[in-house]
Amino acid sequence: MEFPMLVYKAEGRHSRAGGTYDFVGVNTQEEFDTKISEGWFESLQAAIEDSVAPTPPLPTKKSTK
């Protein structure tokens, strides 16, 4: 991995088709690891894909009739 590099989040202050995103620069492996652990991604595509991942359905109540 070469530094400096950018990491991304799917929501933020920059416009993109279908939403917004944010990015921040990291200069070391330690900074990169910290940002990844905070929910940032190595690519914008990965950030967007994670933000639209399907959520599990809510449980439904069974009728007691």
Residues 28, 3: Cα–Cα separation, whole Å: 6
Summarize pLDDT for 35-46 with one digit per residue, the tens.
999 999 999 999
Q: Is the pLDDT of residue 20 over 90?
A: yes
The more confident residue out of 53 and 20 is 20
High-pLDDT (> 70) share of the chain, %: 89
Q: What is the pLDDT of residue 32?
A: 98
Sequence-ordered strand ranges (E) for the chain: 5-16, 19-26
Q: What is the pLDDT of residue 54?
A: 67
Q: Where are the domains of the chain?
A: 5-51
Answer whether 32's CB lies under 8 Å from 23's CB. no
Q: What is the pLDDT of residue 65?
A: 60
The model carries a pTM of 0.77
